[in-house]
Structure 1
Amino acid sequence: MRVYAVVLTYNRQTLLKQCLEAVYRQTRPCDGVIVIDNASTDGTERMLMDGSFPGMEVHILSNNIGAAGGFSAGFRIAYQAGADFVWMMDDDVIPDDDALERLMDAESLLDGKRVDHAFLLSTARTETGLMTNTPSIDQRPNAIAYESWPMLLEHGLAPVSRATFVSILVPRATIEKHGLPIAQMFIWGEDTEYTLRMTRDVPGYMVGNSKVQHLRQTSGALSIRTETNATRLNYHRHFIRNELYVAAKYRGARALLKCRLRQLRLIRQFIFSGQLNKAYIVFQGLMESFNFSPAVEAADSPLENLGVTSRLMGRSVPVARPESVVYENSEVAAVQ
């Protein structure tokens, strides 16, 4: 079974190096390592080409297409390269040395018990040991109308529905069936939408003994109320639009109405408190949500659908035997 680790990065070369070092230390080596560089400008490319990570394949995108676009690119590139499993993470995720091995052990256990599953997920903690990126427990009832989520707790597994891309292992069959993350979401919410889409029929599973650290730049829940970074503040219109889109698609008309009313109240509060810029950003997201209906791309869709070109540096080969690696510094231009 070919497992490809895929890491999305943008202007965080120090964190990326820590992430890749941890990926290369895995007790179950990856069969390929792919980095999606979302048009970094901080010297990331030079760091990646210094020879520290043999056998790695780097796709340098011509422009930043947001986290959603980057993850969509990563899943499709690994899938089209023949990966049986895509182990996806952001560049600020530091997996324990046995994180992948524990995920694959859980995969074998579930297969042995013939338990259908959409994906597997590591548990994530902050540097101080606090739980973060906690998924939503899947609460579907069993044949006698009781929630069945405790069924595999003895094995350290819990079924989940909504999750993030902080160390998620997705089988090829799931990607083939459900397509790719929606690139048009740009940032914040694409992981929620994709995992809810994948778990419509069967749940994913959180694997208790597969552990990662998530070295987030900002702590706490994402909120425009507390946001002070000017760049991130403008991104909140995407978050609001995406939240409304997910509510409409997965939670129904009543939940959508509540979500819209909450945004209207938020606009009013910002106006009365003199925060007109924040009020306008919420208004933008709310208005955009009415006409936001992106199509889901199939797993074999070409990269140029994302409106980018990609320079390919290196070739992804198994990292278990670095002595057999022939490392290339070639650059191949993708089709427009």
Structure 2
Amino acid sequence: MTGDPMPTGFEPGSATIAVVTFNRSHLLSRLLESITLMDPKPGRVVVVDNASTDDTGVVVESFRERIGVELIYRRLDSNTGGSGGFSEGMRLAYEAGSTWMWLMDDDVEVLPDGLAKMGRWSTRFKSIQGRRYDFDGSEFYWQYRLSIPLGIPIPFAPAGFDSSGYREMNSGCFEGMFIHRDVVAEIGLPDPRFFIYWDDSIYGWLASRKTTSVIVDEFVLRRTREIAQWDMGVRHLNASSNMYRYYIMRNRGYMKHYFRAHGAYRPVRFALGTALTFAKELIRLAFVERTYRGTSHLIRGLRDGHELARDAAWQPMPALKISA
């Protein structure tokens, strides 16, 4: 046992862990193994498979009997990206009646008392982010505040916590987002149109408009995949890919739509944020990946994002019907 009593009003069985995976069965296996060691466990685990071509399905089935909770496996017909996977995972969890949905990628492990730690905060907040250890065991810093006018994370948001044990956030990260069904009902499912990048930032921002969203000083996950980094001391810059470079610029178009829809769009400052994002990706190329090959993907994404932003027929994701 964890030794920590469950807070009154929190039922571990009301939570669902929703995992998105794609061709990383070795990492998924580590995550599912960590869930078998959880105490307490959630009520169910949902695994959304983005049309993997490896042995992901076999790995999932090997855990069905011993994971100790209901296991729902959904293999999609095509790769919908993290955005589409998390949208489907949250839909499945919501329709199963889950009160809490805990989203995570396949490249993390859950600490045994992770759900107990998140449960401590569940009677106070409805949109919660826990902390993570990095691959090497160090404390992973996540930029939990967005500058909404610029549409970019604030890199100097304080990393420490005071005696309250939490900091308010206006962003989100699908690697560990713990969110209540009431908030999901109001803001709808994550938008699959993003494919990857900015989807969780926007979703977390939408949640923060409906409830007080917080990051809490509780370590609940450990990253299991090593990523090349440029160490800048307090902060670091991870390696990326051409696909990410494209979508980080393209999806500025979707961000612009969401900010417009909620009266938060400031054209000049958002354009500055887009320029800063482009510059940051150039720095990532130069200092982490030691190349400038990939710049064309940034330019193509920027161009396509401008086209998306001009789509007059665009609509945000709809709210969901609130059910018992």
TM-score interval (norm. to shorter): 0.7 to 0.9
Q: Which of 306, 309, 319 is the equivalent residue of 1:287? A: 306
Secondary structure of the 2:310 match is coil
Aligned positions, number: 276
> How much does 1:252 deviate?
2.2
Larger displacement relative to structure 2 (76-85 or 209-218): 209-218
Q: Residue type of the partner of 1:291? A: R
Q: Which amino acid in structure 2 is aligned with residue 128 of structure 1?
A: D
SS at match of 1:122: strand
Cα distance in 2, alignment partners of residues 264 and 168 from structure 1 = 27
Mapped to 2, the partners of 1:280 and 1:137 lie a distance apart of 26
Instruction: Return the alpha-carbon distance in structure 1 between the equivalents of residues 280 and 307 of structure 2.
Output: 16
Q: Secondary structure at the match of 1:36?
A: strand
Partner of 1:246: 255
One-letter code of the match for 1:23? I
Query: Residue type matched to 2:39 in 1?
Result: T
Instruction: List alignment gaps of at least 5 residues for structure 1.
Output: 111-116, 140-148, 302-336
Q: Is the radius of gyration larger for structure 1 or structure 2?
A: 1
Cα distance in 1, alignment partners of residues 56 and 143 from structure 2 = 31
Counterpart among 172, 196, 216 of residue 163 in structure 1: 172
Matched, 1:34 2:49: no
Q: Which runs of 5+ in 2 are unaligned?
A: 1-10, 148-157, 231-236, 286-291
Distance 1:106 1:227 in 2: 30
| 1:316 aligned residue | none
Counterpart CA distance in 2 for 1:212 and 1:282 is 32
Does 127-136 or 91-100 show the bigger shift? Answer: 127-136
The Cα offsets for residues 96-149 of structure 1, whole Å up to 9 and x where unpaired, read as 1111101001113x2xxxxxx34111101212233335142589xxxxxxxxx9
Secondary structure at 2:163 match in 1: helix
- Note the alpha carbon deviations across 1:237-271, whole angstroms, 9 max, x for none: 2211223532561452232221344578799999x
Q: Distance in 2 between matches of 1:218 and 1:191?
A: 20
Normalised by the length of structure 1, the TM-score is 0.71
Alignment of 1:319-330 (within 5 A): none
Instruction: Kindly report the root-mean-square deviation, in angstroms, between the aligned alpha carbons of the 2 structures.
Output: 3.4
Q: Is residue 267–residue 283 contact of structure 1 (8 Å, CA) maintained in 2?
A: no
How much has 1:93 moved relative to structure 2?
1.4
Which has the larger displacement, 273-282 or 245-254?
273-282
Match of 1:76 among 84, 91, 104: 91
Query: Could you say if the C-alpha distance between residues 274 and 153 of structure 1 is closer, same or farther in structure 2, counting changes exceeding 3 Å?
Result: closer
The Cα shift of 1:220 comes to: 4.0
Tell me the alpha carbon deviations over residues 189-214 of structure 1, each in whole angstroms, 9 at most, x when there is no partner: 11001001110243312221232112
Is 1:5 aligned with 2:17?
A: yes
> Does the CA-based 8 Å contact 2:20-2:89 persist in structure 1?
yes
What secondary structure does 1:97 align onto? coil
Q: Which has the higher contact order (CA 8 A, sep 6+)?
A: 1
1:297 aligns with 2:311: no
Aligned AA for 1:26?
Answer: M
Q: How many angstroms apart in 2 are the aligned matches of 1:127 and 1:49? A: 27
Corresponding residue for 2:27? 15
Counterpart Cα distance in 2 of 1:100 and 1:72: 22
Is 2:143 the partner of 1:127? no
Q: Matched residue of 1:49: which SS?
A: helix
- 1:106 is paired with a residue whose SS is coil
Is this contact kept in 2: 1:9–1:91, CA < 8 A? yes
Q: Distance in 2 between matches of 1:227 and 1:277?
A: 20
**Aligned equivalent of 1:94:** 109
Q: 1:58 to 1:133 in 2, by over 3 A?
A: farther
